């Protein structure tokens, strides 16, 4: 089973999934961690209010008012093969992307990644 978390410090779950520094992916087999990998979130580096030629953004992406929704497809590609993405919350556009890529997500109130990983390990027989 592969589980992923958005993170900024490799220890805690980032509050903003779309703006996290990276995603950590744990590969769990037979109640053991067999691999941990980190993948940079390129979506985080897109313009978030810095403006590129149109006078500035609105704090998330550069869109003209009414231009339409933004997407997180690059994150969907990055998370392909992940069984579940564990997040503190998920926005409507991220939810749509995850569903489109067939990636299940699970909400948690826990902050520490290791606590959630331990719970998954206990549930694997």
Q: Burial level of 72, CB count in 10 A (0-12/13-18/19+)?
A: buried
| Architecture of the CATH domain 2-123 | 2-Layer Sandwich (3.30)
Q: Quick: pLDDT tens for 68-88.
A: 455 678 888 889 999 999 999
pLDDT of the residue at 69: 54
The whole model's pTM is what?
0.78
Q: Name the residue with higher pLDDT: 54 or 6.
A: 6
Domain ranges of the chain: 2-123
The CA distance from 110 to 94, in Å, is: 20
Average pLDDT over residues 20-41: 95
Residue 25 in contact with residue 3, Cβ under 8 Å? yes
- What Cα–Cα distance (Å) separates residue 55 from each residue in 62, 68, 75? 9, 18, 27
Q: Mean pLDDT over residues 90-100, rounded?
A: 89
């Amino acid at each position: 089973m592969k589980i992923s978390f958005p993170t900024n410090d490799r220890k805690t779950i980032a509050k903003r999934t779309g703006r996290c520094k990276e995603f950590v992916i744990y590969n769990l087999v037979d109640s053991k961690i067999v691999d941990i990998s980190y993948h940079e979130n390129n979506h985080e580096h897109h313009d978030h209010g810095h403006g590129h030629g149109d006078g500035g953004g609105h704090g998330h992406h550069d869109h003209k008012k009414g231009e339409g929704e933004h997407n997180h497809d690059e994150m969907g590609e990055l998370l392909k093969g992940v069984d579940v993405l564990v997040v503190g919350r998920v926005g409507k556009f991220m939810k749509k992307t995850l569903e489109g890529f067939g990636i299940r997500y699970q909400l948690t109130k826990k902050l520490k990644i290791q606590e959630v990983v331990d719970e998954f390990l206990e549930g694997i027989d």
